[in-house]
Amino acid sequence: MSAEIRLADALERVKPSATIAVTTKAAELKSAGHDVIGLGAGEPDFDTPDNIKEAAIRAIREGKTKYTPADGLPELKQAICGKFLRENGLTYKPSQVHVAPGGKPVIYNALVATLNPGDEVIVPAPYWVSYPEMVLMAGGEPVIAPCGPNTQYKLTPDALEAAITPRTRWIILNSPSNPTGAAYTKAELRGLADVLLRHPQVWILTDDMYEHLVYDGFEYWTIAQVEPALYDRTLTMNGVSKAYAMTGWRIGYAAGPEKLIKAMGKVISQTTSNPSSISQYAAIEALNGPQDFLEPRRKVYQERRDMVVAGLNKCEGLHCPTPEGAFYVYPSCAGVIGKTAPSGKVIENDEDFATELLETEKVAVVFGAAFGMSPAFRVSYATSTEALTQALIRIERFCAALK
Ligand SMILES: Cc1ncc(COP(=O)(O)O)c(C=O)c1O
């Protein structure tokens, strides 16, 4: 007889990650012998550069294989301060820096360190799947601010103002965005900053993970740089996962006010402790070493984005805007809702669309409901040009077959 497991109330409200579920389902179909093209995962297909790998190998050989300070090595914190100054014009001291095993736990540690029951966190939608769920796990209340295609999926000052209440503790900004690729211009951030200046109880968590992936000469800005008066209540978060193709190494970081960083340090010291010492040495090399590989990779992503946007816009019933950055596009599939697939299944929503597409044409995408905005879906173009070409042929064929 097995005993019934009782789960935490907070966890009962949390959904599993839809992006991980799609990736797992695609991998299962693949291992069962199907020719699946996965456009679900948000992971660079490029390899980690050799100089970064060598730094890790050196760290192992030199026996740098022990515990480090829980929220990061002093040398890594110094490298992170260097990065913020060099790339964002932001001055931080190492005591203002938090390092964790990936960007994900950085955000979670910040929320756990600051939220009390009933505290609200504004999450613009479409959102990265983990934000609302991490807010819930930390005991807070996500307040979803819908940002539709009319505003290029971006939060406007009016929408921000309308979402703020006396209980608002944080607004989460993510530019360029997962899932839409939309990035905020300096002027757009200025507009949001003006609203935030009027609400001193609201802190800003800016997730700048895709900073290096912007296209067509887009000029990247982060909010503390645009409005220095917000510096004292902004947590500027970033990581090596995407730009440096280091998803498996698990290093994310953030900089912000010392008191907040100290509180986050308390959380990490009693939970995961430090990220792998070896990965930290690799991250030092990533941030301090040559950056010249970034530009050719960025160019490849831009070419793929252009190809994917053009290909999707040829599909009957789809409409795909051209985003400024990241490696995602977020086409609307409003034009196929209500149609019937060859299997006889009526496409009632974006989840049906993604499921039928995977089953019929073996192309994995993530449905928009997972990101809080329907009917749409997310395509990750962090995959080879050949795979993307083939996937676009299949998606076009699938849409043409819907009646
Ligand atoms: C917007 C955004 N923030 C944070 C992360 C987390 O990155 P990491 O793999 O370093 O935890 C991701 C990863 O998908 C992301 O898309």
User: Count of CB atoms within 10 A of residue 128's CB?
Assistant: 22
CA distance 124 to 162: 12
Task: Select from 184, 242, 378 the residue to mutate for testing ligand 1; criterion: most ligand atoms less than 8 Å from CB.
Answer: 242
Distance (angstroms) between ligand 1 centre and the Cα of 207 equals: 9
Residue pair 39/383 in contact by the 8 Å Cβ criterion: yes
Range 260-281 average pLDDT? 98
Specify the pLDDT at position 84: 98
Specify the pLDDT at position 8: 86
Backbone angles phi, psi at 178, to 5 degrees: -100, 115
> Is residue 289 over pLDDT 60?
yes
> Is residue 4 over pLDDT 90?
no
Range 181-203 average pLDDT? 98
- Give the ligand 1 atom nearest the CA of 240: 10
Distance (angstroms) between ligand 1 centre and the Cα of 124 equals: 16
Cβ < 6 Å from ligand 1: which residues? 42, 102-104, 128, 174, 178, 207, 209, 239, 241, 247, 252
- Give the ligand 1 atom nearest the CA of 239: 10
Residue 1's pLDDT band, with cuts at 50, 70 and 90, is: low
Specify the pLDDT at position 124: 98
What domains can you pick out in the chain, each with its CATH number?
A: 9-47+293-401 (3.90.1150.10), 66-288 (3.40.640.10)
Highest mean pLDDT among 6-20, 195-209, 342-356: 195-209
The answer to which of 7-16, 108-117, 223-232, 364-373 has the lowest mean pLDDT is 7-16
Range 362-376 average pLDDT? 95
CA distance 375 to 380: 17
CA distance 99 to 69: 10
Backbone angles phi, psi at 44, to 5 degrees: -55, 140
Kindly state the tokens that stand for 237: 């978060």
Range 363-385 average pLDDT? 96
Residue 224's pLDDT band, with cuts at 50, 70 and 90, is: very high
Q: CA-based angle 137:143:147, to the nearest 5?
A: 125
Distance (angstroms) between ligand 1 centre and the Cα of 358 equals: 24
> Is residue 2 over pLDDT 70?
no
> Is residue 337 over pLDDT 60?
yes
Distance (angstroms) between ligand 1 centre and the Cα of 209 equals: 7
Give percent of the chain with pLDDT exceeding 90: 91
> Is residue 140 over pLDDT 60?
yes
Provide the mean pLDDT of the chain: 96
Specify the pLDDT at position 18: 75
> Is residue 22 over pLDDT 90?
no
Residue pair 178/40 in contact by the 8 Å Cβ criterion: no
- What is the tens place of the pLDDT at every residue in 312-325? 999 999 999 999 99
Reported pTM: 0.96
> Is residue 16 over pLDDT 80?
no
Kindly state the tokens that stand for 155: 């939060």
**350-361 helix and 18-31 helix, angle to the nearest 10 degrees:** 20
Residue pair 191/223 in contact by the 8 Å Cβ criterion: no
Q: Tell me the one-letter amino acid at 330.
A: Y
The answer to which of 160-174, 227-241, 254-268, 350-364 has the lowest mean pLDDT is 350-364
State the pairing for strand pair 141-146/234-239.
unpaired
> Is residue 185 over pLDDT 70?
yes
- What is the tens place of the pLDDT at every residue in 91-132? 999 999 999 999 999 999 999 999 999 999 999 999 999 999
Peptide bond into 228 cis (omega under 30): no
Residue 70 C-beta-side C-alpha neighbours within 13 Å: 16
Range 146-151 average pLDDT? 93
CA distance 98 to 265: 7
Residue 19's pLDDT band, with cuts at 50, 70 and 90, is: confident
CA distance 131 to 119: 14
DSSP 155-189: --HHHHHHH--TTEEEEEEESS-TTT-----HHHH
**Chain-centre distance for alpha carbon 189:** 18
Task: Select from 130, 212, 272 the residue to mutate for testing ligand 1; criterion: most ligand atoms less than 8 Å from CB.
Answer: 130
The answer to which of 9-23, 40-54, 310-324 has the lowest mean pLDDT is 9-23
Backbone angles phi, psi at 17, to 5 degrees: -70, 120
Residue 11's pLDDT band, with cuts at 50, 70 and 90, is: confident
CA distance 133 to 111: 11
* Alpha-carbon torsion (191, 195, 196, 197), positive or negative: positive
